[in-house]
Amino acid sequence: MSFIESMQKRYTTKKYDASKKIEAEKIQELKQILQLSPSSINSQPWKFTFVNDAETKEKLSQVSWLNTNKVLDSDWVVVFSRINDINLFENVIESELPKGAVDYYKEFIKNKPEEEIKAWFDKQVYLALGVFLSACAEMGIDATPMEGIEPQNYDRILKNNDYATIVAVAIGYRDNDDFNQPSKQPKSRRAIDLVTETI
């Protein structure tokens, strides 16, 4: 299957078949794909927590608003977090990144208000999210990105001390009765000429 076909077939899964499990090798591949995700100046201000433990998923489901069943019935929940301690981030890049990257951060990012720096971190996490969702589509894994969660409670449950939850993704395999799959509910996207321009 080509990549465009994978994207045509992917959708936001609303109902999972809890009996279907993702192969361990595919989970390891997804971890490596996230590790390889791009970020500005290779800053990598993130952590990705893969949750399969039933007790932890139960706790997360209770602070996931309308996504409760997706958290419970999916095979895994992957929590995307950004670093929350700017000093820690700066120590990491000083020790791991080349001088040019560190100088860019110091000149263009460091002097911004804390809120703006963390918003810059968030943007990097969303780059990884896009890579992850595309990888799931290519691998035939169903996925549901979820901003409808309680991030601070996720952090409490996961003991996420130096990081802050941004978004979570339920992954697994769809229930055959899922109403949102393209065969039942065709994709709704704006026309290509309304969202792209050629100059």
Residue 87, pLDDT above cutoff 90:
yes
Q: What is the DSSP letter of 74?
A: S
This prediction has a pTM of: 0.97
Distance CA 6, CA 145 (A): 17
Q: What is the pLDDT of residue 1?
A: 80
166-183 tens-digit pLDDT: 999 999 999 999 999 999
Q: What is the pLDDT of residue 130?
A: 98
Distance CA 57, CA 76 (A): 8
Rg (CA), the chain: 18
Print burial letters for 151-164: b (CB count within 10 Å at least 16), e (below 16): beebbebbebeebb
Using CA atoms, how far residue 3 sits from 9, 32, 68, 131, 137, in Å, is 10, 19, 31, 13, 8
* Rounded mean pLDDT, 16-20: 98
How high is the mean pLDDT of the chain? 98
pLDDT > 70 fraction of the chain, expressed in percent and rounded = 100
Split at pLDDT 50, 70, 90, the class of 83 is very high
Distance CA 100, CA 18 (A): 48
Query: Which contiguous run of DSSP H or E holds residue 12?
Result: none
| 3-state secondary structure at position 147 | coil
Q: Order across the sheet with 163-172: list the strands.
A: 46-51, 76-83, 163-172, 142-146
Structural domains of the chain in order of their starting residue, each with its CATH number: 3-84+113-195 (3.40.109.10)
95-150 tens-digit pLDDT: 999 999 999 999 999 999 999 999 999 999 999 999 999 999 999 999 999 999 99
Distance CA 83, CA 87 (A): 10
Residue 25, pLDDT above cutoff 90:
yes
pLDDT > 90 fraction of the chain, expressed in percent and rounded = 99
Split at pLDDT 50, 70, 90, the class of 19 is very high
